[in-house]
Amino acid sequence: MSNTPMAASPLTRAVLEIDEYVSGLGWDQPARLFALVDTARLRADQPSLADRLGLQDEPETSGLTPIEQDEVPTDQALDEFLGTIAWPDAVVGCALAVERLMLPPSAEAQVPQGLNEAKLAQWVAEHPDRQEVRMTVAVLRDGARDSALRLRDKDAATDVLTGSDLVPGLAQALTATFEE
C-alpha cells in the first residue's frame, strides 16, 4: 500500500491497494475479483498464509487484505457470473476491478434508437468522446462500499477518483453476492 493514504478508511485503502496492483499490470486486462478478509483475523486464524502474504509485520490491526480469486470468465456476462458467487463467512467483503468505455452525459442524447447490445457497444467504441476507465469497486457485508476510477488518459495515482457512489450498479451487484 505504498501510495495509499493512511487516514483513509480500511475499505478505501483496500480499494486503492487493488487499483494500484491492477494498474501495475497495465491496461487491457480482464476483470479481476478479490475477496476482502480482516487482516487481524487472517493473522490469527492462518498465520502461515499471513506470513506468505507478508502480513506478519504489518503494524495495522484494523485493515482489510484483498485476495485475488480465480479468473473471471470472459464467456459469461459479468452480472450473470456475479450471481453465481457465494462467499464463506471469513470473507467480510469483495471487490472487482474492471475496464469499460465511458461516455460523458452529453452523449446520451446522441445514442441512436433501436440498437442491440452489440451495436450499442460498437457505437460507444467508435464515439469520439469515449474514455477508457478502470473501475475498482468494493463492498462489505455490512453494506459499506467504496470505489476508485482511473482514466486511461490520466493514468496516475494522483488522478484516481474515489467515492462510495461512483459505480452504484456494480456496487449493488457485488453486495448481492453476500445475500443468501
**Higher-confidence position of 26 and 45:** 26
Rounded Cα gap, residues 24 and 159, in angstroms = 15
User: 84-120, pLDDT tens digit by residue?
Assistant: 999 999 999 999 999 998 887 787 778 888 888 788 8
pTM, 2 dp: 0.84
